[in-house]
Amino acid sequence: MSIVLIVFLSILRFTRSQEIVSPYVFADCKHLILPPRCQCYHSGHESQLRCLKSELHSLPKLPNNMRWDALDFSLNYITSVDSYVFADIYVEKISLKSNYLRRIEPTAFDRIKNLKQLYINHNQLRELHPQALISPGSSLEIFDVSYNLFQYLNIGEILVNLPMLKQFHLVSCHLNSTSIYTLLKLTETTINDTIQRTGHYSLELLDLSSNNLTTICHGLFDALYNLVELRLQHNSIRLVDNNFLRSLTKIKILNLAHNSLEHAPRLASQTLETLNFSSNHIQYLNDYFASNLPSIQIIDLDSNQQLNSTSTRAFCFLNLNSIEKLTFRSNNLLTLNTFAELLCRLTNQTSKFNVIDINHNMNLKCNCTLIQFQNYLYHFNDLTCTHQGQDRYYISKLLNWYSNCQMDFCMIRHRLIQPNYCNQADAERIVYEGTCEAKLSASEERKRLKAKFTSTMTTLITNQWFDNTTDSRNRTWIDNSTKARSPSQQRLGNSVSWNQSSLLVFIFSFLLLLL
């Protein structure tokens, strides 16, 4: 409620100030002296300066009080962005991509107005001062710093300075997990031993693909309240906390493809729709691995070349109303027998066909099960299998061989698989096993978080916290008492509601002032 009001207010304030001040005139290209290969375009209310591939070695200083839609300096030889080079202009989009930038002065973007998109990708940057973003922070929505040489970025501090940011692209920046631990900064301010949390309300897409991340632990992304898509593909992630999505109430897409996972984490999320585990080293699918994903539509397990089997309870509580595709291409599955629980539930579903893709499993054995469940197998006509461990056949051509298959698989199974074969309590409990912080009590956790900000943030979660999971069952109380809220969130919940009233008072007095 108050958030909506704040947003509304800032829009109101913004448009008012534009009406009243508005000293910015559209650059009409007429009286500008431009570098030789630059082109200025002006038509109606559109003004663009295009200096791409213009052999520039530095940025030209543009006249003050000009209003631009876009300034494109990509594909040049520019090595630095100096102080105030963009000061006192009004511009929505700046591209500096594919240059040789090594330095951006902390004041480079000071006094820039209304910048919404900033591209500094494909450069040679090793550092970026978060304070360089304070001025653009009032408006910046898309920020791309991909393909630079950072190794370390204070992502948390950058986001603190960019409260309107919707998309943050950090592809291939040589970042290790140390950088993402700075996200805790968004949630943690300690005032007299009381933890206060603010968080980020705009970010929808965070792209951290092609970095060197190794562990994704509990609470790391909790402050990104409106995150919809998280890209973590092409890292070296070995460990993912089962609960790390639980607080992200808008998350829809998680990509963990091309990492080093040996187990599929048992994630919990009310909203997640697409889950991508392709090209990892998963060998076995555990019990209940998708039981706590009620909105899931696509699970991609392609190219886990060692994946040869699943638990018979792997698909327990997989939501058949939402699921559209479960894909196991290029794995090493031998049989669909362990899929019995899922297959027999599917036969009860009237309209869910072509859900399971098991093509390109080189050791898949031909047998009745494949034929009986052909309606549920994606591209059944292309599905090949081995017969007696030797020749490969299109299963669809072998219908004669299996013409006298007994079609009572589910009947038999049904007797074996009791009504309570899948156990809801186990499914909920299991989420809390094997997580990064399963062993930390609330007070230890708080101590650790605090320590992080006094140290250099390099002491990350180490194995000792997740190898020993003997007392993890202890954490099931979270489910009973607070329903999908971690203890830390509860603290947040309280302080937010406490502060909401004061915020409201503040907003109303502000409104009164305006009128």
Provide the binding-site residues for ligand NAG, judged by CB under 6 A: 151-152, 174, 176, 178, 191-192, 212, 233, 255, 257, 276, 278, 283, 298, 300, 306, 308-309, 334-335, 337, 344-345, 348, 365, 367-369, 409-410, 414, 425, 458, 460, 468, 470-471, 473-474, 476-477, 480, 495, 498-499, 502
Q: How many CA atoms lie within 13 A of 207 on its CB side?
A: 16
Q: Which amino acid is at 469?
A: T
Identity of the residue, 55 or 262, whose beta carbon is nearer to ligand NAG in the bound complex: 262
Rounded to whole angstroms, the Cα distance separating 285 from 290 reads: 10
> Which of left, alpha, beta for 452 (phi over 0: left; psi -120 to 50: alpha)?
alpha
CA distances in angstroms from 512 to 9, 331, 507, listed in the order given = 12, 64, 9
Chain-centroid distance, C-alpha 282:
20
Report in angstroms how near the CB of residue 366 gets to ligand NAG at its nearest.
Answer: 8
Identity of the residue, 74 or 178, whose beta carbon is nearer to ligand NAG in the bound complex: 178
* Residue 352, helix vs strand vs coil: coil
Identity of the residue, 48 or 276, whose beta carbon is nearer to ligand NAG in the bound complex: 276
* Separate counts of helices (H) and strands (E) for the chain: 11, 26
Identity of the residue, 38 or 334, whose beta carbon is nearer to ligand NAG in the bound complex: 334
- Which of 275, 409, 270 lies closest to 342, judged by CA? 409
Report in angstroms how near the CB of residue 250 gets to ligand NAG at its nearest.
Answer: 19
Rounded to whole angstroms, the Cα distance separating 286 from 314 reads: 5
Report in angstroms how near the CB of residue 103 gets to ligand NAG at its nearest.
Answer: 18
* Cα-only R_g, the chain: 27
- Which of 72, 91, 116 lies closest to 27, judged by CA? 91
Identity of the residue, 166 or 281, whose beta carbon is nearer to ligand NAG in the bound complex: 281
Identity of the residue, 18 or 481, whose beta carbon is nearer to ligand NAG in the bound complex: 481
Cα-Cα end-to-end distance for the chain: 21
Identity of the residue, 276 or 312, whose beta carbon is nearer to ligand NAG in the bound complex: 276
Chain-centroid distance, C-alpha 481:
28
